[in-house]
Amino acid sequence: FRSMNMADLPVYYYHQDSAWMSSELFTDYFNEEILPTIKKHFPHQRVIVTLDNATCHPPTLNDIDDLIHVQFLPPNTTSLIQPCDQQVIFSLKSRVRNVYYTKLLTYV
């Protein structure tokens, strides 16, 4: 991306050197991109934004705007809600189980 002009991209591009999402980066993204989009589509309406409980999602997001309420999901529920995550977990568990039983039968 070094030679590209980020303003020409049809997406919002944020980054930091460690490649991890931080609270500051997410708060900036929330204020600069998410809030204006919500206000554009739902002016003067109360909106609930649902986020997982990642450490980069600061609990102070509820203090930004009175009409926007951020609701955090309980721990360990994201993988249960997202079908893609469910398939990955199922696939991994079935492979591990297969290796386990294969080794068990080999030893017997």
- 4-57: pLDDT as tens digits: 887 787 777 777 777 788 888 889 889 988 999 999 999 999 999 988 888 888
Longest dimension (CA), the chain: 69
What pLDDT score was predicted for residue 38?
93
Share of the chain above pLDDT 90, in %: 19
Share of the chain above pLDDT 70, in %: 95
CB-based burial of residue 107 (10 Å sphere; 0-12 exposed, 13-18 middle, 19+ buried)?
exposed
The verdict on pTM exceeding 0.75 is no
Q: How open is the CA angle 13-73-90, to the nearest 5 degrees? A: 85
